[in-house]
């Protein structure tokens, strides 16, 4: 079932520079359920008029088509462009409001306004030479937007703003998927335009030079799409780099502590060997051992524990501190405290990351809820419009 067109407006014009300077007209089509826009040149209106006249030679369209001026040209005169805009709008409205619907029932009219006919159409088969360039320009802008989002994500990652970087990644991936789908249609449409078999090309064959130029444009856009895909896909390792660096720093510090402990253990082993030699000498001379124990009992006890701990002998030496002097012991304690501070900072970074991930998940859920609410509202509006359309159909019957 085709759309029922209720109104047509041409309110805006635009000057474009490719393939050469020309003026296009923005045709707004208002149907019972939805609205859409098509851009047409004056040559497209002229072709529509010629085809309608050839189909119905004895019944031309009710409104005349504005004539084409060569000297002077309409392109350089805004007043003449405005006059032609009003004339083209009257031409389309005359066909739409006429009681005779023979022109509105033709495929030429439906293709000109891009009216859905109820049968599936290949989007790549609806390109003209100008609309193909318009689609290419829009896709180039989309690729530029994706690269801008990737740069913003890198800035957020550097600032440890995980929620903002996650939103940039999600938006960039959505735009990249849309770009990939539209790029395949653009490439297929170029092949159809080159052979003149597109629905909108009307059998016009593209020149070899123009075909090569547009193929190069498509290849450049495909390379840009592949590069953007790599940048978007490698976003997570860049984000985890901050935490991997902190982990590697903590591991290197632990390895340094292990090396120091190993060196200390070697010094302890050498001192223990000396003590064993002294013990063997003492056993060989019992009198010397007795005299030495007596002198040690007379001399005061020396150690690095003071106060009640020294009196009760509660503090004992460990394997790591036994071979250290007072200065080495102080450095050892400072190293332990520094390692503990690094572990606390690392744990704090992990907690902050978990918090940001929770916030990002909450934001994503809120966004999905908003999308569902908008979808619900759209379904409600569509249901209302369908009821209104059914009511009008019942009145017509």
pLDDT in tens, 361-395: 988 888 888 888 888 888 988 888 898 888 888 88
Residues 6+ positions from 308 with CB-CB distance below 8 Å: 314
What average pLDDT score do residues 349-358 get?
A: 85
Residues 6+ positions from 392 with CB-CB distance below 8 Å: 32
How far apart are the two ends of the chain, measured CA to CA in Å?
Answer: 16
Give the residues across from 13 on adjacent strands. Answer: 25
Per-residue confidence band for 9, with pLDDT thresholds at 50, 70 and 90: very high
Q: Between residues 20 and 321, which one has the greater pLDDT? A: 20
What would the pLDDT profile of 263-273 be if each residue is shown by its tens digit? 555 555 455 55
Residues 28 and 25: their CA atoms lie apart, in Å, by 10
**Measured in whole angstroms, how far is the alpha carbon of residue 159 from the centre of its chain?**
19
Angle between helices 42-55 and 78-97 (to 10 degrees): 30
pLDDT surpassing 80 at residue 276:
no
What is the pLDDT, as a whole number, of residue 306?
A: 52
Number of other residues whose CB lies within 10 A of the CB of residue 113: 19
Question: Whose CA is closest to 349, among 247, 251, 234, 249?
Answer: 247
What is the pLDDT, as a whole number, of residue 161?
A: 81
The helix/strand/coil state of 57 is coil
Residues 134 and 265: their CA atoms lie apart, in Å, by 76
> Is the separation of the CB atoms in 333 and 304 below 8 Å?
no
User: pTM for this one?
Assistant: 0.40
What is the pLDDT, as a whole number, of residue 155?
A: 85
What is the pLDDT, as a whole number, of residue 367?
A: 83
Rounded to 5°, angle at Cα 142 from 138 and 147: 150
Question: Whose CA is closest to 91, among 136, 137, 146, 40?
Answer: 40
What would the pLDDT profile of 322-346 be if each residue is shown by its tens digit? 666 777 778 878 888 888 888 888 8
What would the pLDDT profile of 216-229 be if each residue is shown by its tens digit? 888 998 898 888 88
pLDDT surpassing 60 at residue 119:
no
Helix (H) or strand (E) holding 306: none
The helix/strand/coil state of 397 is coil
What would the pLDDT profile of 136-152 be if each residue is shown by its tens digit? 888 899 999 998 888 88
pLDDT surpassing 60 at residue 213:
yes
What is the pLDDT, as a whole number, of residue 253?
A: 56
What would the pLDDT profile of 281-318 be if each residue is shown by its tens digit? 544 444 455 455 545 544 444 455 555 555 555 556 66
Residues 6+ positions from 179 with CB-CB distance below 8 Å: 139, 142, 143, 146, 225, 228
* Encoded tokens for 102: 């023979």
What is the pLDDT, as a whole number, of residue 285?
A: 47
Residues 26 and 13: their CA atoms lie apart, in Å, by 6
From 1-10, 31-40, 115-124, 321-330, the region with the lowest mean pLDDT: 115-124
What is the pLDDT, as a whole number, of residue 90?
A: 92
Taking all residues of the chain, what is their mean pLDDT, rounded to a whole number? 75
List the 22-31 sheet strands across, edge first: 5-16, 22-31, 35-41
What average pLDDT score do residues 194-215 get?
A: 67
The helix/strand/coil state of 154 is helix
From 37-51, 128-142, 260-274, the region with the lowest mean pLDDT: 260-274
pLDDT surpassing 50 at residue 121:
no
> Is the separation of the CB atoms in 32 and 4 below 8 Å?
yes
Question: Whose CA is closest to 254, among 336, 158, 136?
Answer: 336
What average pLDDT score do residues 223-236 get?
A: 81
Number of other residues whose CB lies within 10 A of the CB of residue 336: 12
DSSP 125: G
Q: Between residues 359 and 203, which one has the greater pLDDT? A: 359
């Amino acid at each position: 079932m085709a759309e029922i067109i209720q109104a047509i407006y041409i309110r805006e014009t635009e000057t474009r520079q490719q393939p050469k300077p020309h003026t296009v007209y923005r045709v707004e089509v208002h149907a019972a359920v939805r609205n859409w826009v098509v851009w047409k040149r004056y040559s497209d209106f002229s072709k529509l008029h010629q085809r309608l006249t050839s189909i119905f030679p004895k019944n031309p369209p009710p409104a005349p088509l504005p004539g084409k001026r060569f000297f002077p040209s309409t392109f350089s005169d805004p007043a003449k462009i405005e006059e032609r805009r009003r004339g083209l709008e009257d031409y389309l409205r005359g066909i739409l409001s006429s009681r005779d619907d023979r022109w509105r029932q033709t495929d030429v009219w439906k293709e000109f306004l891009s009216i859905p006919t109820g049968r599936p159409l290949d989007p790549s088969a609806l390109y003209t030479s100008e609309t193909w360039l318009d689609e290419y320009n829009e896709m180039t802008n989309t690729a530029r937007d994706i690269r801008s989002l990737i740069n913003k994500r890198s800035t957020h990652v550097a600032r440890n703003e995980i929620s903002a970087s996650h939103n940039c990644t999600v938006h960039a991936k959505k735009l990249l998927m849309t770009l990939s789908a539209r790029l395949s249609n653009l490439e297929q449409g170029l092949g159809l335009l080159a052979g003149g078999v597109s629905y909108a090309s009307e059998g016009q064959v593209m020149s070899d030079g123009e075909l090569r130029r547009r193929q190069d444009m498509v290849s450049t856009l495909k390379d840009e799409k592949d590069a953007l895909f790599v940048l978007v896909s490698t976003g997570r390792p860049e984000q985890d780099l901050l935490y991997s660096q902190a982990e590697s720093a903590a591991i290197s510090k632990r390895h340094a502590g292990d090396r120091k402990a190993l060196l200390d253990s070697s010094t302890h082993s050498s001192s223990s060997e000396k003590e064993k030699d002294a013990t063997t000498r003492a056993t060989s001379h019992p009198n010397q051992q007795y005299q030495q124990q007596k002198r040690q009992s007379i001399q005061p006890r020396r150690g690095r524990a003071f106060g009640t701990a020294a009196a009760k002998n509660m503090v004992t030496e460990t394997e790591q501190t036994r071979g250290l002097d007072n200065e080495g012991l102080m450095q050892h304690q400072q190293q332990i405290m520094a390692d503990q501070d690094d572990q606390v900072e690392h744990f704090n970074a992990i907690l902050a990351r978990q918090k940001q991930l929770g916030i990002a998940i909450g934001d994503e859920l809120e966004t999905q809820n908003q999308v569902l609410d908008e979808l619900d509202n759209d379904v409600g509006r569509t249901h209302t419009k369908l009821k209104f359309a059914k009511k009008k159909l019942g009145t017509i019957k």
